[in-house]
Amino acid sequence: MTTVADDKLIKIAYLYEDLMNTYGDSGDVKILRYLLNKDGYEVQVDNVSLDAKFDANDYDFLFFGGGQDYEQTVVAKDLLRHQSTMKDYIEAGKPMLAICGGYQLLGSYYKMIDGTVIDGLGILPLHTVFKPDSRMIGDTEFETEFGPVKAFENHSGRTYFDDKDKLKPLGKMIQGYGNNPDDGVEGMRYKGVIGSYAHGPILRNENIAKAVAKMIIDNHNARLATPAQA
């Protein structure tokens, strides 16, 4: 039970916060909380971890951070329980930010260093292959529709789009690798979903942070306007 009126309470689901939080990605959620508070909203962040009961459509925003390979294997199995509600949420155009390992798990699969293939949610037509010989580490800069974004990356997974009509890159590389060393692009946009390899956290870039905060508020208002299902 909350004391805050529903119209001023924004609910964020932080997927596997305890397992998927490499390189300070939780900073993205802190920045969003700050911006939303400034706009007069209270923010509730729920850690949706292993075995949790979860319906994506109860939330205004989903956040999924990066993770190491081992944690990804554990998370990937549990995540499949939420395939249908997350697909509904995403296809309805609701907002989500997925970074690095979280971004990878929205796709069809992640092929690991030993050749093992982890199934992703299969919601987005993309896949990722781990290449051990050339980890992509360093500062990145890329141009997006929100303006230039500066961050850093640290991953061995190379992500490729399987349907380039459906998925659009988040940005064009100025510095660094982004999705892979071949395409010259960083991250992904599909409806309300932003996927990215950018840590830093990415939302320290005010331009994109404000755009995401606006997406959340718009979705929150739309959720309030829709009568709850019986």
Q: Tell me the binding residues for substrate.
A: 135
- Measured from the CB atom, the residue of 16 and 41 that comes closer to ligand GLN is 16
**What 3-state class would DSSP assign to 15?**
strand
Question: Does residue 120 bind ligand GLN (CB under 6 A)?
Answer: no
Contact between residue 160 and residue 183 where contact means Cβ atoms under 8 Å apart: yes
Near ligand GLN by CB under 6 A: residue from 42, 46, 69, 88 = 69
Site residue total, ligand GLN (CB under 6 A): 12
Question: Does residue 67 bind ligand GLN (CB under 6 A)?
Answer: yes
Tell the smallest beta-carbon distance from residue 1 to ligand GLN (Å): 36
For residue 201, cis peptide bond before it (omega within 30 degrees of 0)? yes
- Measured from the CB atom, the residue of 111 and 168 that comes closer to ligand GLN is 111
Q: Which residue has the tokens 């960083």?
A: 186
Angle between helices 26-38 and 206-225 (to 10 degrees): 70
| Active-site annotation holds for 220 | no
Q: Report the distance separating Cα 87 and Cα 183, nearest Å.
A: 27
Q: Which residue is nearest to ligand GLN (CB)?
A: 66
| Active-site annotation holds for 100 | yes
